[in-house]
Amino acid sequence: MSVHPMVPKPGREDQPPRKPMSGTPAPGEAGPGRAQGKRRLLVLALVVVLVIVGTIALAVVRSEPPSGAVVPTQPAVPAAPVAAAPPSLQDSVDDILSEADEYRIGLALADVSGGAARTFGDQDTFTAASTAKILTAAAYYHLVEQGQASLDEPMGDYDAAFQLKAMVKDSNNDSWLLLMEAVGYPQLITYADSIGITYDPEQNLLTAADMALVLKKLYAGELLDKDNTDQLLSFMQDTNNEDLIPAGSRTGVDVHHKYGEVSGELHDAALLSYRGSTFALVIYTENPEGVPDDGQAEVIRDLTRAVEDALFPVGLTSK
């Protein structure tokens, strides 16, 4: 950075002194000795000004990063969960899966304040059944927030708000069809892609990890604003089927979930909250015989208990 010295504006004192007609200095005019002294004072003052300006300029230069340099930022500190899944969870889940090997089972577990989901069992896609209704609901709420739809919009015999509640809380398939048509299949595919999952509503295939990601982002407020998030989560309690993850969950754990059932598929996708920690737990099961049976429901409850025992051990105290 170049520094431009402060130069006094020209004035009468800066003009060369006029010589008098005689050898005696004119009244008010300095003699040679006095003139030299004033010049020295002026030079000294100018030097002092230059030093001060140079010091300030140097400090500014040192405080700015070089061109193209990366300025370090204070890293964000994620909220630490009260509980974390121990390595022993793998053994517990593996034992349950081996005893239920007549079924195809996929499990995903994700801390909403942490990284990617931990997966167990089959990691391929399943027919997601009604668990995918959460994705349709989020897509419609997203349109509402974008000003492209309304909760008061007539839909079927009721309005969109009624159909959203009926689709999630009561798992109403007519409501699901109306809402998917309102969103549009291409738009639903695009919305799913924006979340980070591949989803075609005509095939309705998801992995357990896909569904865990949807739940994780929903709870974290990454999909919808607070009011719409809270409303959608409220529909995921006291639903028309509380016999799966909620039935396997212990007292004190807050459960929001959406079950799904079609042909031989029986699933549940839930958010488990306990003393400051929230985890997404998704369990997809498939009976090769083509019809769900009581064994699938029981294995879902067993896996829920195993996960909670690992995440929220008895005697855990809150921070």
The answer to whether 212 and 108 have CB atoms below 8 angstroms apart is: yes
Is the pLDDT at 31 greater than 50, yes or no? Answer: no
Whole-number pLDDT of residue 41 = 54
The maximal CA–CA distance of the chain, rounded, in angstroms, is 129
Q: Rounded to whole angstroms, how far apart are CA atoms 230 and 201? A: 25
47-60 pLDDT, tens per residue? 555 545 455 444 44
CA-closest candidate to residue 233, choices 282, 164, 187, 177: 164
Q: 3-state DSSP: the chain helix, strand, coil percent, rounded to 5?
A: 45, 15, 40
Q: Which residues 6+ apart lie within 8 Å of 222 measured at CB?
A: none
Taking the C-alpha atoms of residue 183 and residue 191, their distance in angstroms, rounded to an integer, is 10
Contact 209, 196 (CB under 8 A): no
Amino acid 75: pLDDT:
31
pTM for this predicted structure: 0.74
* Domains parsed from the chain with CATH numbers: 88-311 (3.40.710.10)
Stretch (H or E) spanning 46? helix 32-63
In tens, the pLDDT along 214-254 reads 999 999 999 999 999 999 999 999 999 999 999 999 999 99
What whole-number distance in Å separates Cα of residue 56 and Cα of residue 175?
Answer: 69
